[in-house]
Chains A and B, each alone.
Chain A
Amino acid sequence: MARFAGGKAPFLRISDTKGHNTQAIMKDFMIAMSPVILFSWYKNGIKVLIDGNINFIEMLYPLFFIAMGAILSTLMEGIFFYVTDKEHRSFQDILDKLSRSYAAIPGIILALLLPLYTPIWVLMFAAFVATIIGKMIFGGFGHNIFNPALLGYAIVGFTLMGVVNRAGGLFNASEVLVDAYAGATPLGVLASGKQLSFDLLVKPYGGLFNLFIGSYPGALGETSSLAIMIGGVYLVYKKIIKWYTPVIYVGTVFVLSWLIGLVSGEAGLWFPTYSILTGGVMFAAVFMATEPVTTPTNSLGKVFFALFLGVLTVLFRFVGNLPEGVGTSLIFLNIFTIAFDKYTAVIRTKKLAKPGGLYLAILTGLFILLAIYTVIKAGNMYSLVMPILGWVI
């Protein structure tokens, strides 16, 4: 009689096969990000070198900056593991923990979210916020509530934007496209309170196609919709993200922006197209609205999350004071991921019967209200509606 090992059914696991475990998924995220990284290198490094504005070493700076994002994040987590666990301090232990924590990915995303001329110490601060405050104190990988990279980016955006802006100059030669709007991002122009007009918003950046390609001022990784879409297609092909999350999100932003354009007198389809190509909508759609840890788990939750995210993005963009809107809406919705998970699971299970139908009705009603509010508030519908309301009352 021999004593055998224990275990729990099933005794076959796909995670035991190479290429099907979390490690492989994270590797695929890296691969999907590579077109974005390469494009930002091209835009901020190679192209500038060809134009003759910088030397060879400076050309490598974008890659260095992105690598620094990954390295700093990993380092911070390593230090966190060392400080918090007194019993497992050997190098091997920390490496083991790091290999299951995937710090490099939020690090890279963080670097891609920041403009190139961000000082390294600001990047370091952002990485600290992202990994330690955004992830580790919640319990590490899989337990974080906020998207770590986004939290780091948001904190820097709220507190150190002035520093980042003042630090510009050396490496952003290629970003000065048009003298009149030197370095201003398209959405910054919109937020300055000017009317929606093609000449003002799109023309300075070389037309819609150029916005699609991504050669315009903005953060490192979020400008090129083309590169992001290549990465997104790869992720969908590898079945790592669901195709409908980005499609619904981008679609909602498109439709609502179109409606806003209509009611404010700009009938052209250029405006919604412009809306989805700028401000990181694409980047968020592919790399952040689909991030597994901080977004809902089941398919129905993903659909609702993407819908709400689209509405909130448009709401924050046109009603609030933030030109960009994407990051804020994502952070806001991340708080509700747990609720999304729970209630959509119940709705899914009860197959839309009661009480799931009630939840569904409430959610849909909320969504429609938000959408109507956004459109009315953002387009100049106000003056049209108020007299009617007054008459009714």
Chain B
Amino acid sequence: MIFQRVKGITLDGKKDACKKNPLQEYLNPKKVYIPLLQRTCVLEPEVKIGDQVKAGQLIAINQQYFNVRVHASISGKVTAIKKVWHSSGKMVDAIEIENDNLNTLVEDIKEEKSLDELTRQDFIDKLEKSGLTGLGGAGFPTYVKYRTKSKIDTVIINAVECEPYLTCDFHYLLKFKEKLVRGARYLRRAAEAKEVVIAYKAYNEEIAHAIEPLIKEFADIRLFPLKNVYPAGWEKYVVEQVTGKTYNNLPAEAGVIVNNSATTIVFADVVEKNIPLISRPITITGEGINQPRTYIVPIGTKVSELVELSGGYVEGLDPLKYNYIAGGPMTGRAIFVDDLVVNDTLGAVIVKPVIEGLYPECMGCGRCADVCPTYLTPTEIKKAYERKDVKLLGDLNANKCVECGLCSYVCPSHVEITEAVGKGKALLKKGA
């Protein structure tokens, strides 16, 4: 209809190349570089060069706004603190740990005996101590979500992974499906919610087949299939689809907490064994990689080692004609140097050819406005940004942009409109 509310568009998934290759563990890299940056928080190291650290030991902390903690992902010796490339596109300080291959665990890591007696506060304390953040990409500390004072009815486990190419959540979920179900039910208890819903793409039938037999006996957990569209994994979209409710800023307003599926799996370990966040899944894929594959790696692993494990780059690859993307193809960031390390939010590295061409000007077809999931008008926001008209940017709700990238995706003239809207959003934030 005239004011049609487009609910996403179907993208070519390009996941098959990676889906057919099984998940691989790579848990003992020679060195890890643990970045001292989480979202915008710079962390203070708690260890000195030369210290011996155990896997799971707290090595850096920031208590400015939230309690942000980072743990050693392997056991070994701290050899240096040096700059590495981070998925945010900047160079940041990182703690270099040389692996001693002994895999000694810190004393805190032990089986939790009284699982049934844990209260909500116990779960939140465990979350805070574990330094668990959203592994989906936003990297928000998970315990903060559970500290909410709102009444929570539903916890949603987001296993949608709607961006093309990515398969890390998919593989991770299938490998640890029991852990996912257990973690989901712990999360329900941590939020004191009525039920927990696992949202997945109906197109990924394997997930339904794997999970269904495991949740038959529980009344408080169910599956919810979503359409194969982008951005189906967007928090607000998932909440709207599952509960029919909407919200302005935080899902808690609608009585919902949303967690990524990989976060949930790690949470099961956090609860049962007190293992903090030390490893995560990552997809190495794209047309520039010989054997695209998903790995489970300790945080801080060099991506170049994983690329080598994947058979390296395709033959005759000219780096200047390829993008090296940290994150998904729609929201990720081009990194100039292939010297990235895995941090908590990095779900994928994609090496993909740049398609060059001569493009005409914007002709005002309006497709970007039709496709925007937040019903903004990107062309006008771009114009307002170019005029630096902060008031108009506010009227146009530039701050509501989620930078999903759809406006640039559909643009027939290849206009960098997502970038312009993002800048408009930043200007509005600064100006207001």
| Contact, CB under 8 Å: B405 / A5 | no
- Nearest Cβ on chain B to A6's Cβ, whole angstroms: 5
* 5 A/B residue pairs, CB under 8 Å, sorted by A: A10-B405, A15-B414, A101-B360, A240-B365, A349-B395
Contacts of B392 in A (CB 8 A): 342, 346
B251-293 interface code vs A (CB 8 A; 1 in, 0 out): 0000000000000000000000000000000000000000000
* Chain A, interface SS category: loop
- Nearest Cβ on chain B to A190's Cβ, whole angstroms: 32
| Contact, CB under 8 Å: A9 / B333 | yes
B400-415 interface code vs A (CB 8 A; 1 in, 0 out): 0001011011111110
Determine which of B334, B351, B355, B419 lies in contact with A13 in the assembled complex, contact meaning CB atoms within 8 Å.
Answer: B355
State in angstroms the CA–CA spacing of A102 and B379 once bound together. Answer: 21
- Nearest Cβ on chain B to A106's Cβ, whole angstroms: 13
Q: Which of the 9-residue segments B66-74, B218-226, B233-241, B370-378 touches chain A?
A: B370-378
- Nearest Cβ on chain B to A354's Cβ, whole angstroms: 11
- Nearest Cβ on chain B to A138's Cβ, whole angstroms: 11
Determine which of A1, A24, A298, A303 lies in contact with B377 in the assembled complex, contact meaning CB atoms within 8 Å.
Answer: A298
B4, B339, B360, B413: residue with the most chain A Cβ atoms closer than 10 Å: B360
- Nearest Cβ on chain B to A259's Cβ, whole angstroms: 23
User: Smallest CB-CB separation from B374: which chain A residue?
Assistant: A349
Contacts of B377 in A (CB 8 A): 297-298, 345, 348-349
| Contact, CB under 8 Å: B323 / A341 | no
Q: A140-B361, A143-B361, A349-B395 are in contact. Are A12 and B409 (CB under 8 A)?
A: yes
State in angstroms the CA–CA spacing of A3 and B363 once bound together. Answer: 34
| Contact, CB under 8 Å: B338 / A8 | no
| Contact, CB under 8 Å: A244 / B323 | no
Contacts of A341 in B (CB 8 A): 364, 379-380
In the complex, whether A392 has a CB less than 8 A from a CB of chain B is no
- Nearest Cβ on chain B to A393's Cβ, whole angstroms: 42
Determine which of B325, B363, B379, B383 lies in contact with A11 in the assembled complex, contact meaning CB atoms within 8 Å.
Answer: B325
In the complex, whether A100 has a CB less than 8 A from a CB of chain B is yes
State in angstroms the CA–CA spacing of A302 and B3 once bound together. Answer: 11
Contacts of A143 in B (CB 8 A): 361
| Contact, CB under 8 Å: B363 / A1 | no
State in angstroms the CA–CA spacing of A28 and B5 once bound together. Answer: 26
Contacts of B335 in A (CB 8 A): 4
| Contact, CB under 8 Å: A4 / B412 | no
User: Smallest CB-CB separation from A12: which chain B residue?
Assistant: B329
In the complex, whether B8 has a CB less than 8 A from a CB of chain A is no
In the complex, whether B193 has a CB less than 8 A from a CB of chain A is no
- Nearest Cβ on chain A to B369's Cβ, whole angstroms: 4
B381-432 residues with Cβ-Cβ distance < 8 A to A are: 383, 392, 395-397, 403, 405-406, 408-414, 416, 418-419
| Contact, CB under 8 Å: B375 / A15 | no
Contacts of A23 in B (CB 8 A): 360
B120-175 residues with Cβ-Cβ distance < 8 A to A are: 164
- Nearest Cβ on chain A to B38's Cβ, whole angstroms: 21
- Nearest Cβ on chain A to B340's Cβ, whole angstroms: 11
- Nearest Cβ on chain B to A350's Cβ, whole angstroms: 7
| Contact, CB under 8 Å: A346 / B396 | yes
State in angstroms the CA–CA spacing of A342 and B331 once bound together. Answer: 28
User: Smallest CB-CB separation from A8: which chain B residue?
Assistant: B419
| Contact, CB under 8 Å: A11 / B352 | yes
Contacts of B361 in A (CB 8 A): 100, 140-143
State in angstroms the CA–CA spacing of A303 and B333 once bound together. Answer: 38
| Contact, CB under 8 Å: B365 / A4 | no
* B residues apposed to A, CB below 8 Å: 2-4, 11, 164, 304, 319-325, 327, 329-339, 350-352, 354-355, 357-366, 369-370, 375-377, 379-380, 383, 392, 395-397, 403, 405-406, 408-414, 416, 418-419
| Contact, CB under 8 Å: A298 / B369 | yes
A101, A244, A297: residue with the most chain B Cβ atoms closer than 10 Å: A297
In the complex, whether A199 has a CB less than 8 A from a CB of chain B is no
Contacts of A303 in B (CB 8 A): 2
State in angstroms the CA–CA spacing of A342 and B329 once bound together. Answer: 31
A1-40 residues with Cβ-Cβ distance < 8 A to B are: 1-16, 20-25
In the complex, whether A299 has a CB less than 8 A from a CB of chain B is yes
Contacts of A164 in B (CB 8 A): none
Q: A299-B370, A349-B397 are in contact. Are A8 and B11 (CB under 8 A)?
A: no
| Contact, CB under 8 Å: A10 / B330 | yes
| Contact, CB under 8 Å: A345 / B380 | yes
| Contact, CB under 8 Å: B375 / A4 | no
| Contact, CB under 8 Å: B363 / A100 | no
A259-289 interface code vs B (CB 8 A; 1 in, 0 out): 0000000000000000000000000000000
* A residues apposed to B, CB below 8 Å: 1-16, 20-25, 96, 99-102, 140-143, 240, 244, 292-293, 295-300, 302-303, 341-342, 345-346, 348-351
| Contact, CB under 8 Å: A10 / B323 | no
Contacts of A297 in B (CB 8 A): 364-366, 369, 377, 379-380
Contacts of B418 in A (CB 8 A): 8-10
Determine which of B334, B360, B369, B395 lies in contact with A5 in the assembled complex, contact meaning CB atoms within 8 Å.
Answer: B334
Q: A4-B338, A13-B355, A349-B375 are in contact. Are A293 and B413 (CB under 8 A)?
A: no
- Nearest Cβ on chain A to B40's Cβ, whole angstroms: 19
- Nearest Cβ on chain B to A288's Cβ, whole angstroms: 14
User: Smallest CB-CB separation from A342: which chain B residue?
Assistant: B380
| Contact, CB under 8 Å: B414 / A141 | no
- Nearest Cβ on chain A to B201's Cβ, whole angstroms: 17
State in angstroms the CA–CA spacing of A43 and B335 once bound together. Answer: 61
- Nearest Cβ on chain B to A352's Cβ, whole angstroms: 10
| Contact, CB under 8 Å: B395 / A10 | no
| Contact, CB under 8 Å: A5 / B366 | no
- Nearest Cβ on chain B to A178's Cβ, whole angstroms: 42
Q: A101-B360, A143-B361, A342-B380 are in contact. Are A5 and B2 (CB under 8 A)?
A: no
State in angstroms the CA–CA spacing of A350 and B395 once bound together. Answer: 7
Shortest beta-carbon contacts, A-B, top 8: A142-B361, A10-B405, A345-B377, A4-B324, A345-B380, A2-B319, A100-B360, A10-B330
Determine which of B11, B331, B355 lies in contact with A9 in the assembled complex, contact meaning CB atoms within 8 Å.
Answer: B331
Q: A299-B3, A300-B3, A349-B395 are in contact. Are A16 and B357 (CB under 8 A)?
A: yes
| Contact, CB under 8 Å: B337 / A4 | yes
State in angstroms the CA–CA spacing of A26 and B324 once bound together. Answer: 33
Given contacts A8-B418, A9-B418, A142-B413, 5 further A-B contacts (CB under 8 A): A3-B337, A8-B334, A15-B412, A143-B361, A299-B2
| Contact, CB under 8 Å: B366 / A22 | no
User: Smallest CB-CB separation from B419: which chain A residue?
Assistant: A8
Determine which of A22, A140, A299, A351 lies in contact with B413 in the assembled complex, contact meaning CB atoms within 8 Å.
Answer: A22
- Nearest Cβ on chain A to B414's Cβ, whole angstroms: 4
- Nearest Cβ on chain B to A238's Cβ, whole angstroms: 12
State in angstroms the CA–CA spacing of A6 and B416 once bound together. Answer: 13
Contacts of B375 in A (CB 8 A): 348-349, 351
Q: A3-B337, A5-B323, A293-B363 are in contact. Are A13 and B408 (CB under 8 A)?
A: yes
| Contact, CB under 8 Å: A13 / B337 | no
Contacts of A100 in B (CB 8 A): 358-361
- Nearest Cβ on chain B to A337's Cβ, whole angstroms: 8
State in angstroms the CA–CA spacing of A144 and B224 once bound together. Answer: 49
- Nearest Cβ on chain A to B363's Cβ, whole angstroms: 5
Q: A7-B334, A101-B360 are in contact. Are A13 and B365 (CB under 8 A)?
A: no
- Nearest Cβ on chain A to B231's Cβ, whole angstroms: 11
